[in-house]
Amino acid sequence: MDSRDFASRAEFIAQVAYEVSEEPDAIEQHPEIVETLRDLAADEHSLHEAFGANGHDPVAFVKALADGLEIYRTEPLERAPGLIDGLSLVASTLRQSGNSVAHA
């Protein structure tokens, strides 16, 4: 995955994370966020590169995040701060990784 693709995904994920913190139906408005996360998880090399070797499995994390958001494609996300935090973490990590690639 190139840095533009990372930046694009990061911006979309960040947008949805911001919107869902303000509007419980943001996942319903952007159901493609689930597939975006699943596609991201499928690119294991790039995901491991972005998250680094921190002892955690970013692929499992992103897959679990996508699975957790699945139900909210059809109902409001009201009391799931962990999912919102997860979206924010993924967006932030992808942004930082994209910035590192752009400045290398």
- In this structure, is the dihedral angle defined by the CA atoms of residues 55, 60, 63 and 65, taken in order, positive or negative? negative
What span, in angstroms and rounded, lies between the C-alpha atoms of 63 and 56?
A: 13
Q: What is the structure's pLDDT at 104?
A: 42
Q: Any residues with CB less than 8 A from the CB of 21 and at least 6 apart, and which? A: 84
Can you give the residue ranges of every domain in the chain?
A: 3-103
Cα Rg, the chain, nearest whole Å: 13
The mean of the pLDDT values for the chain is 84
| pLDDT tens across the length of the chain (104 residues) | 666 777 788 889 989 988 988 888 999 999 999 999 999 999 888 888 888 877 689 999 999 999 999 999 988 887 778 888 899 889 888 888 765 544 34
Concatenated DSSP letters of 57-93:
-HHHHHHHHHHHHHGGGSS---S-HHHHHHHHHHHHH
